[in-house]
Amino acid sequence: MKTAEDFLEGQILLIDKPLTWSSFQAVNKLKYVLKRRYNLPKKFKIGHAGTLDPLATGLLIVCTGKFTKKIPQIQAQAKEYTGTIVLGATTPSYDKETEVDATFATAHISPKLIAETIPQFLGEIDQKPPVFSAIKKDGKRLYEHAREGSEVEIESRKTTIYEFEITRIALPELDFRVVCSKGTYIRSLANDFGKALQSGGYLSVLRRTKIGDYNVTNGLTPEAFEQQLAPR
């Protein structure tokens, strides 16, 4: 069983973040549980290595104590995601956070067209972050501008897609697996892939499965993590 000293010295915790939880909520839950269970100091250090949207599930790496210094190097590692893209429609947020704002034809989309389109998204690519994201522009986060209805110019940025495969075709849905670099927006990938298919697309399901060698199969939900701690 872990002790208070173990968490203060530093632990890397693999958490399977539930749907609708923010990354901040998950970290706060762990912080509350650990401080209560082990009577840790008020300034106990804890943080996560890479945000997951509330509508995504999967691997959230949480570092405690002195291991919070490892967060930048963990964040820099390649990430693997699985999920579902819905073709034939778009949303302003590129996912299910907002309602469909446009619809498009899908009858022309074939497995052959999908296979021919994938190479456009491999290697280093230019990608624009979603307008509903936490990136700051003019002192405000982009989602704040978006919710106000303000028009903002979003600059594209370089990102790298190491692997991109379609694992199921059941139009209008496509299941996928992606391995990518830090800073990649899978919502933007879904939107851009829909455009490249001469249609539209948005992300309906997203799960982060790996960060570097860390795998969600070894992760615990926040509730399961609390249950396996030493009793008071």
Q: Which residues are catalytic?
A: 53
Output phi, psi for 11, to 5 deg: -135, 150
Contact 101, 90 (CB under 8 A): yes
Distance separating alpha carbons of residues 189 and 45, to the nearest angstrom? 34
CA-CA distance, 67 to 204, in Å (whole number)? 34
Q: Rounded to 5 degrees, what are φ and ψ at 137?
A: -140, 125
Half-sphere exposure of 99 (CA within 13 A, CB side): 1
C-alpha dist (Å) from residue 183 to 9, 13, 68, 156, 160: 29, 22, 20, 12, 9
Checking DSSP bridges between strand 157-170 and strand 173-180, what pairing results, if any? antiparallel
Residue 223 · residue 103 · CB < 8 Å: no
Asked if 211 contacts 59 with a C-beta cutoff of 8 angstroms, the reply is yes
